[in-house]
Structure 1
Amino acid sequence: MDAPSYQGFRFPPEIIAHCVWLYHRFALSLCDVEELMLERGIEVSYETIHQWTRRFGPAYANALRRRRPKPGDKWHLDEVFVKIQGRQRYLWRAVDADGNVLDILVQSKRDTAAARRFFRKLMKKTRSVPRVVVTGKLRSYGAAHREVMPSVEHRSHQGLNNRAENSHQPTRQRERAMKGFRSMGAAQRFLAEFSGISPHFRPRRHLMTAPEYRTEMTVRFAVWDQITGTTGRPAAT
């Protein structure tokens, strides 16, 4: 796989990739990232960092998704409220049994048509059909399930869907740091990138010893360097 092209950019790839990593890994604003880079002697504006996230974030996220193992056959789906310019919207999310994010979709409604649209997008994105789908009690799921994937077992129970609900927590942290989203399109773009990059740096730490965690993170940083075409942490100037 070819690394993204940085031709025409004044800053080296290591700085660009590092800023994108900071923005998607931690609950930081663009101004926070600008300040962190300034502390290291690197003068770059938050507007430039924003341009980098828009230009390279999708490429990084897609490259990481391509490296993920095939999703499990048990999918957990959930939707939460998202305020966008004072209006209530809905963020739909699907994860597999290991908590890996399969796809997200921001929509204005949570009716049957919205659930049906998400099911179809999810199957197209993963190129697979699950054995079991676990959802909350929202009736739209049942109606859409019968239309789109009637052969798949559907379990509707709020208590069984903790994986999908827990997967929303990092998004909520980012939403607060960003003080909300400006539009549905902006929310969809950012969250598509975020759901591809952030989970890569969030292994299931509670299941690992400290040495195992450090080893796993070393591997994940090496993968990040490969997909970004960089040599790692940028040096201060």
Structure 2
Amino acid sequence: MRSASPSYKGHRYPVEVISHCVWLYFRFPLSFREVEELMLERGIVVSYETIRRWCGKFGQTYANALRRRQPQSGDKWHLDEVFIKINGRLQYLWRAVDQDGHVLGVLVQNRRDKAAARCFFRRLLKKTRTPPRVVVTDKLRSYGAALREVMPCVEHRQSKYLNNRAENSHQPTRQRERAMKGFRSVGGAQRFLSAFSGISPHFRPRRHLVSAHDYRAEMTVRFAIWEHITGVAGSAATA
């Protein structure tokens, strides 16, 4: 699949430095200052504020390009919501994954009632363009009420034991939340998590299911895809 590389016009640092900083920040539980320190160890002087602007500008672009390369989403959706604290206030992070663990969408909202569930369902349908065959949730009643309104023909299964896939998908977010000492605003949390859910899973193949040799081969392919969508491969070819 061909995709246009993002424009780096006006940036004095090469694409290799920019994409590497964005990769470090979204792949590992690092702060902007820690990424700055890692780059300094390599002899590259760049401020943490510059890294923050790069992540804000290119993170979502990279995530979107990676999502376009994913196979079509599965027909079985797992949905779950967890609370997160943003600037001291309780908010809810809604997440949907398919049966293969691919993240279909995340949404930060201040409620978990029928209206919030309906908003999330409509957002998922707009993004995937295809309704699922089955939706698996916990026993929150808001899911059933919203599903009957938005997707009445879709089978709904409710059980706290069937939804481990969605619950496990929250773990990397929890790790980042602790490393970042919480989120400062709803908009900032939504922007970060939207990019994070597109970039981080790309570098997290299910390691326990493959041998070490196959894992290294898979990661080599994934790094090549990253270089392609960020434009690193193109810049190396023209150098």
**TM-score between both structures, scaled by the size of structure 1:** 0.97
Task: Give the unaligned 5+ runs of structure 2.
Answer: none
Give the paired residue count: 233
| Distance (Å, rounded) in 2 between the aligned partners of 1:162 and 1:34 | 36
> Does residue 1:149 correspond to 2:143, yes or no?
no
Q: Aligned residue for 2:13?
A: 11
| Distance (Å, rounded) in 1 between the aligned partners of 2:207 and 2:126 | 31
Q: Aligned residue for 1:199?
A: 201
The 4+ residue runs of structure 1 with deviation greater than 6 A are none
Report the alpha carbon displacement of residue 127 of structure 1 after superposing the two structures with TM.
1.0
Q: Aligned residue for 1:85?
A: 87
RMSD: 1.1
Q: Aligned residue for 2:50?
A: 48
Identical positions, percent: 73
Report the alpha carbon displacement of residue 4 of structure 1 after superposing the two structures with TM.
0.3
Native 8 Å contact 1:123 1:129 kept in 2: yes
| Distance (Å, rounded) in 2 between the aligned partners of 1:123 and 1:115 | 12
Q: Aligned residue for 2:127?
A: 125
| Distance (Å, rounded) in 1 between the aligned partners of 2:61 and 2:195 | 8
Encode CA deviations 1:33-82: one digit per residue, 9 max, x unaligned.
11111111111111000000011011100000000000110000000001
Q: Secondary structure at the match of 1:160?
A: coil
**TM-score between both structures, scaled by the size of structure 2:** 0.96
Q: Secondary structure at the match of 1:158?
A: coil
Q: Aligned residue for 1:57?
A: 59
Q: What are the within-5 Å matches in structure 2 for residues 1-237 of structure 1?
A: 1-231=3-233
Q: Secondary structure at the match of 2:161?
A: helix
| Distance (Å, rounded) in 1 between the aligned partners of 2:46 and 2:168 | 35
Report the alpha carbon displacement of residue 107 of structure 1 after superposing the two structures with TM.
0.2
Amino acid at match of 1:112: K
Q: Secondary structure at the match of 1:155?
A: strand
Amino acid at match of 1:22: L
Q: Secondary structure at the match of 2:84?
A: strand
